[in-house]
Structure formats: C-alpha cells, structure tokens
Structure 1
C-alpha cells in the first residue's frame, strides 16, 4: 500500500514538473492571452514563492553571473539567455530588440526618452548605440524595478549615458524640460503601461518635447495591445507611421513595434 502511494506521489510530482517545465510553456508560446497570463500571473508567482526572490532579482543574478562587467552587449546577451532558457521577462527581447537597434542606429539620437525601464534591458541596448554626446532619460514607476535597473546599468558601465528617474510618466513629462534641460527628444521609446501610451504621447505634444522629425517607437502594440494609441497615431496628420511585425518577447505570439515620425 505504502509503495503504491509512494509511486503515485512520485508520478504525480513528475507529471506536475513536466507540465510546469515543458508542456504548458510550449502551449502558451503560441497563444497571446495564455502567454501573458501564464508567465506573469502563474510562473512568476510560483518561482517567487519557491525561491523567496523576485523575477528582477533573479534576472540581476544572471547578469552578475554571466555578463562581463563594463560590457553592455554581454549584459544584453545574459538577459536574453536567462529569458529564453530560464524564465520569461517583459523586456523588448532579442527579436524586437534588433528592430529597436536598427531604429536607434538610423536616428543616431542625441536625446532619448524611454517610458518604462523595468530592469534596464532596453536602456542598455539603446545607450550602447548612442553617439558620444548622446544620453537617455528612462522613467520607471516601480522603485523596486528601478533599484534592479540601476545595478544592471552599472554592470554594463553605462551610468554616464543613462539617467534613471523613478516616478509616474504623467508626473514627470511636464517637468522634464525644467529638471533636465532637454528641449526636445530625437527618439522616444514607449514600453510602459499600455493605457498610458496615448495620454503620454499627447502630453509630450502639449509640453513641446517633440520636434519635427522626432521618432516615437512603441512596443507591444499588438500584444497585449494598444488599440487607442494605434488609432490615434495612424490617423493623426501629425504623424507618419510604420508597423514592424515581430513576436511577443521570447515567444511565437504575434506582436510588433510601431514607428511614428512626428511631422510637427
């Protein structure tokens, strides 16, 4: 009897492990709603409980273990490897990151604004492509994420290029000119709360932070999606927009980036 019970327990544990580690992650790779729900609501909470740590803390540990201090590209690679092999995270990711890289290289911006730092992945990715005089201001609402991002940025050796500001975008955008002496931004990367894309874009217009030729690059416009932002940006005579089809970070779910040129 006890042997049978032991076999049942072992078999059940093995089944749960297989479901958690392989079966469910494979299935959610192709389903937009399930992908975000699984990775953000289930997997993260389970691993937080088991490890008594947070996903950003685990990501930072992977950087410190696998990346070379002072080498931004090795930091990006370490995060991508962590997210593909260990644990999904909501960075722009390697696939869409290549699109981001191409836009940064094309614009060659002197002043960049990033809305949504998370753990610093995209800030590092952008900063290492900037010209010598170029700088990026990145806004992060969550102070815990910001604390991790500062360490990731420091590990990449980019503290002089990246100004990390903690607080709500709606509070900071009107104060940017006064606080940082920035007249306008050459490039704005939107990757924060999706319901803030449109109001923050209108706020940047009102505050005069966009000049003729400024580029807005918005992530996750399909998954989880920003329909109100897309409707505005694609129909406004003040913008010329282009969609870059890709996939939700580290999955096979369709997603993309919307590049919009401000026409004045």
Structure 2
C-alpha cells in the first residue's frame, strides 16, 4: 500500500478496493511493474496514477480513437506507458517533463515497456515546450504542477480541435478545492483552472472526486465542442 497523498481513516479500505479492481481489470505486467520499481529505486515521488486510473486513460484513448496524445508531466512514465499502449498503429504520444532526472528514468521505463517507437519525451518547463509543439492533439492529460494549470489549459485549447478531450488530475486535493480561502498555490491553481473551464463556451466538462490508494482526490474532464472564434 502506497502512502496516500491525503490520509484518511478509510485509506486501507480504499487501497484494498483499488487492489481488487487492479487484479481483475488492470493487472500489472512486467513493463508496468518494472517502471514502478525503477521509480522507487530512483527516489521519484510516488505520485503515479493508480492502475485503474492508468487503465481509464487507456480506455479514453481507445474510445476516442485518439492518434495524437499530449501528456503534461511525465514523472517516471507509468501513465505514459498505459496511454502509449492504447494508441493505434502510427499513433504518437508527446510527454513533457520538467525534471531531467525524472525524464531520464521515464525514457528507460518507456523503452523497457516497448513503446519508445510511439513516445517522445521533451525535457523542460512545460510552458517553454508547449509553444514548440504542432497542433492538434486528440487527448491532452494535464498532470504537472497545479499552480500552472490555468496556463496549461490555455495551451491545451490552442493545441486542440473540436472533439479533443482534456483531462486534469489531482483536482480535489483532499477536499481543499472547495476552500475559497486556501493559501495553497496548488489549490488556487486548480480552482482557477476549474473556473476557466466552466466559463469557456468552447468546453463541456465535469469533475469527479475519487477515493483509492492515492487517497481522496479526483479529476476533471472536458471536451472541446467548438473551434476558436475567427478574428477578422
């Protein structure tokens, strides 16, 4: 059992349910297990998505038949592997990681899992890398520093088309997202991100709170329903 980001008296129960779901529906294999072990040996923070969450991302890609995927925040590549495996022939996943050490571990994990042919890891601050990328992407997964989520959303919209799915992880923050007076910049970033999503006429969205081995958290999901207005 991993130490949850937001501990609770029910954390062991939540973790046990995640383990049950994982065993039935998202079983570990050599590539995924090796990635988690390599991340732990390298001292990376245990912020990887859970196995059921990784499978969810993979299913979104399959349901949408996404061919180009953007991930903001690679960490050790665990979620990257889940998503890359779901891509169709000729698909591409671009992942951005700010920490060179994390990126180094991720590249090895991705190679070990056999998906290097469809993954590019860009090393650098996401706000520096995003302007260099070619649009559009079919699915965009935002899982980096939460204080910059509003900026990531702006770039996601620039790099999207009608039908693009945008997913943002870790939005509940152990319930702190409901605290308008929070001094936590990550909470402030998430709240501003959600406000921008709610007010943008190009987006149709929802947010879901979750419990599991990572504790009490959740994700937001938006679909781009219109192209940007043309300026004459």
* Pairwise same-fold verdict (TM > 0.5): yes
Residues 100-140 of structure 1, C-alpha deviations (whole Å, 9 max, x = no match): 22212211211011000000011101000110111100000
Runs of 4+ in 1 over 6 A off after TM superposition: 81-84
Q: Which runs of 5+ in 1 are unaligned?
A: 1-20, 32-71, 178-182
Alignment of 1:169-180 (within 5 A): 169-177=126-134
Residues 56-79 of structure 1, C-alpha deviations (whole Å, 9 max, x = no match): xxxxxxxxxxxxxxxx94322455
Kept in 2, the 8 Å contact 1:96–1:256? The answer is no
Structure possessing the higher relative contact order (Cα contacts under 8 Å, 6 or more residues apart):
2
Kept in 1, the 8 Å contact 2:142–2:152? The answer is no
The structure with more radius of gyration: 1
Aligned to 1:161: 118
Higher percent of residues as helix? 1
> Aligned to 1:219, which of 169, 189, 203?
169
TM norm structure 2 = 0.73
TM norm structure 1 = 0.65
Kept in 2, the 8 Å contact 1:95–1:246? The answer is no
Kept in 1, the 8 Å contact 2:59–2:86? The answer is no
Structure 1 SS opposite 2:162: strand
> Aligned to 2:7, which of 10, 16, 29?
29
Q: Does 1:89 align with 2:46?
A: yes
Alignment partners' CA distance in 2, 1:27 and 1:90: 8
Alignment of 1:139-150 (within 5 A): 139-150=96-107
Give the deviation of 1:241 after TM superposition.
0.6
Q: Which runs of 5+ in 2 are unaligned?
A: 10-27, 174-185, 227-232
Kept in 1, the 8 Å contact 2:74–2:103? The answer is yes
Alignment partners' CA distance in 1, 2:125 and 2:80: 17
Residues 82 and 145 of structure 1, relative CA distance in 2, 3 Å threshold: closer
